[in-house]
């Protein structure tokens, strides 16, 4: 340890290297504790030091020093990932990029930013110029652009623009971990090696993402006597191209009762759909709601946009957050339902598990097709039972991206072959976020290596 700290101090200076146990502890954690499976396994993992990088040059120097000293490097944005992606399993350094937060270029078509720029800050800046982000996670106020690209998938906006793999990353600057780190500029199809890679095959220092023109968003809650009607309504809105939208999230009662800050505005006992649609779409929404015996309830008009807690704060994985705050024994899954027969699948699940599984869908576009993604809330009892539930979902054709593992292969989102090929060429010593890939691609780190 002494040797590498000395080397790192020479490279970055005292003010950029945190060694106190408290700081190391805090910056070695993400939101893995959402999972009762991951919590006991990751709670004691901690980096040996935290490096706060301020520039690309510094990143390159840190990576070269890590190579020389043979120590693992786990990159960190804001640490809001849910699967322990940013937790250093084998110690070494956490390379925190949150200080690399410069917006480098903004046009009508794209934003080019340093990886540590927070999505919330970028969205605010863009809106001031008549643009907005196409997609962002519900953690956008904290989360960084680099962390979203390397650890996330989709979110608000995905109903129109798809997820990260649907053209929502245009270019990335990537540093390799070699004797002399290379600076790669990656575009087009090659980007799939770096999207949702958990930083296992490179450190992304700069990203270019597409933007679209800003829309006056109106937030609406539609309410229904049963979840099936909420789903039918949601599907009708999701597939109605005359309604511009960026959020269509049906939740089964009693999930709305978990939403403490807005619960008084919600109808007790009703399943709900949380929407963000363009101002002027209220008649169309009311007509769709009436077709499914529903009512329009709480509305946040555009004048109140971002002046009060927004509906997106109750969607995507924030739904799970409110559930956990209400009842810590609740956890979640990430599922993909059939684009047409999703109601049949949901019916089978409800029949088998009742209130042990509460339904929460997020309609999105994937490869152009409107699909119901889902983050169902599950009552956690035992590991075996959780995997029994997962097994049943899969047996009826519902795909699961397991959120209770830090292994890239098992979480199952990224493009594995491309990621492994990049790993081989960019990280010959296997020092980037070791332990997150199950497939052996490089020689394990040996302490006797130079």
Residue 138 makes contact with ligand FAD by CB under 6 A: yes
- The DSSP output letter for 314 is G
In 3D space, the residue among 163, 183, 164 whose CA is nearest the CA of residue 173 turns out to be 183
DSSP string, 181-231: --EEEEEGGGGGGTTT-TTSS-EEEEEEEEEEE---EEEEEEEESSHHHHH
Residue 147 makes contact with ligand FAD by CB under 6 A: yes
Residue 237 makes contact with ligand FAD by CB under 6 A: no
Q: Classify residue 70 as left (phi > 0), alpha (psi -120 to 50) or beta.
A: left
Alpha helices in 133-183 (DSSP H): 145-151, 158-161
User: Which CB, 99 or 385, lies closer to ligand FAD?
Assistant: 99
Q: How far is the CB of 386 from ligand FAD (least distance, A)?
A: 19
d(CA 282, CA 332): 32
With contacts defined by CB under 6 A, name the span among 131-139, 229-237, 265-273, 274-282 that binds ligand FAD: 131-139
Residue 85 makes contact with ligand FAD by CB under 6 A: yes
Residue 80 makes contact with ligand FAD by CB under 6 A: yes
Question: Among residue numbers 5 through 64, which ones bind ligand FAD (CB under 6 A)?
Answer: 30-31
Return the sign of the alpha-carbon dihedral for residues 34, 38, 44, 49: negative
Beta strand ranges found along 19-89 (DSSP E): 49-52, 73-76
User: Which CB, 144 or 220, lies closer to ligand FAD?
Assistant: 144
User: Which CB, 147 or 294, lies closer to ligand FAD?
Assistant: 147
User: Which CB, 236 or 247, lies closer to ligand FAD?
Assistant: 247
Residue 137 makes contact with ligand FAD by CB under 6 A: yes
**3-state class (DSSP) for residue 347:** helix
Beta strand ranges found along 81-134 (DSSP E): 93-96, 103-106, 110-114, 131-133
Q: How far is the CB of 157 from ligand FAD (least distance, A)?
A: 10
Residue 144 makes contact with ligand FAD by CB under 6 A: yes
Q: How far is the CB of 27 from ligand FAD (least distance, A)?
A: 10
The answer to whether the beta carbons of residues 149 and 164 sit under 8 Å apart is yes
Residue 310 makes contact with ligand FAD by CB under 6 A: no
Q: Which residues contact 376 (CB under 8 A, 6 or more apart)?
A: 332, 333, 335, 349, 357, 358, 359, 360
Residue 430 makes contact with ligand FAD by CB under 6 A: no
Encoded one letter per residue, x for contact with ligand FAD by CB under 6 A and - for no contact, window 431-450 reads --x-----------------
Q: How far is the CB of 411 from ligand FAD (least distance, A)?
A: 11
d(CA 249, CA 231): 9
d(CA 321, CA 142): 15
Residue 361 makes contact with ligand FAD by CB under 6 A: no
With contacts defined by CB under 6 A, name the span among 148-156, 231-239, 292-300, 395-403 that binds ligand FAD: 148-156
- Of 49, 77, 336, 372, the residue at the interface with ligand FAD (CB under 6 A) is 77
Q: Give residues in contact with ligand FAD (CB under 6 A).
A: 30-31, 74-82, 85-86, 97, 115, 137-139, 143-144, 146-148, 150-155, 198-199, 203-204, 316-318, 321, 433
């Amino acid at each position: 340890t002494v040797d590498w700290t000395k080397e790192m101090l020479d490279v970055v200076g005292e003010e950029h290297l945190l060694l106190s146990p408290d700081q190391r502890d805090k910056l070695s954690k993400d939101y893995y504790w959402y999972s009762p499976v991951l919590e006991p396994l990751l709670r004691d993992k901690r980096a040996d030091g935290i490096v706060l990088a301020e520039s690309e040059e510094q990143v390159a120097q840190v990576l070269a020093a890590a190579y020389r000293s043979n120590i693992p490097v786990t990159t960190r944005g804001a640490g809001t990932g849910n699967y322990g992606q940013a937790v250093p399993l084998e110690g070494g350094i956490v390379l925190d990029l949150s200080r690399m937060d410069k917006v480098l270029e903004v046009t009508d078509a794209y934003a080019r930013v340093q990886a540590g720029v927070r999505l919330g800050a970028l969205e605010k800046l863009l809106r001031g110029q008549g643009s907005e982000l196409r997609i962002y996670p519900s953690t956008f106020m904290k989360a960084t652009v680099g962390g979203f690209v390397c650890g996330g998938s989709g979110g608000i906006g995905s109903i129109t623009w798809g997820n990260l793999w649907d053209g929502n990353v245009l270019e990335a600057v990537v540093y390799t971990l070699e004797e002399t780190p290379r600076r790669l500029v990656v575009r087009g199809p090659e980007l799939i090696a770096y999207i949702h890679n958990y930083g296992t095959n490179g450190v992304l220092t700069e990203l270019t993402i597409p933007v679209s023109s800003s829309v006056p968003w109106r937030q609406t809650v539609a309410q229904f006597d049963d979840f099936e009607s909420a789903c039918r309504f949601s599907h009708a809105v999701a597939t109605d191209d005359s309604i511009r939208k960026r959020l269509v999230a049906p939740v089964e009662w009693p999930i709305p009762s978990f939403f403490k800050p807005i619960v008084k505005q919600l109808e007790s006992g009703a399943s709900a759909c949380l929407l963000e649609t363009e101002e002027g779409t209220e008649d169309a929404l009311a007509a769709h709601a009436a077709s499914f015996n529903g009512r329009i309830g709480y509305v946040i008009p555009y004048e109140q946009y971002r002046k009060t807690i927004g509906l997106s704060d109750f969607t995507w994985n924030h739904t799970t957050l409110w559930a956990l705050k209400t009842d810590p024994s609740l956890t979640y899954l990430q599922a993909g339902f059939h684009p047409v027969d999703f109601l049949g699948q949901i019916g089978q699940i409800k029949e088998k598990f009742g209130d042990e599984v509460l339904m929460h869908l997020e309609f999105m576009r994937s490869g152009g097709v409107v699909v119901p993604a889902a983050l169902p809330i599950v009552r956690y009892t035992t590991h075996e039972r959780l995997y029994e539930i997962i097994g049943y979902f899969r047996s009826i054709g519902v795909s699961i991206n397991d959120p209770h593992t830090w292994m890239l292969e098992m979480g199952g989102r990224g493009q594995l072959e491309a990621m492994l090929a990049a790993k081989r060429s960019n990280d010959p010593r296997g020092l980037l976020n070791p332990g997150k890939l199950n497939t052996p691609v490089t020689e394990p780190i040996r302490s006797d290596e130079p």
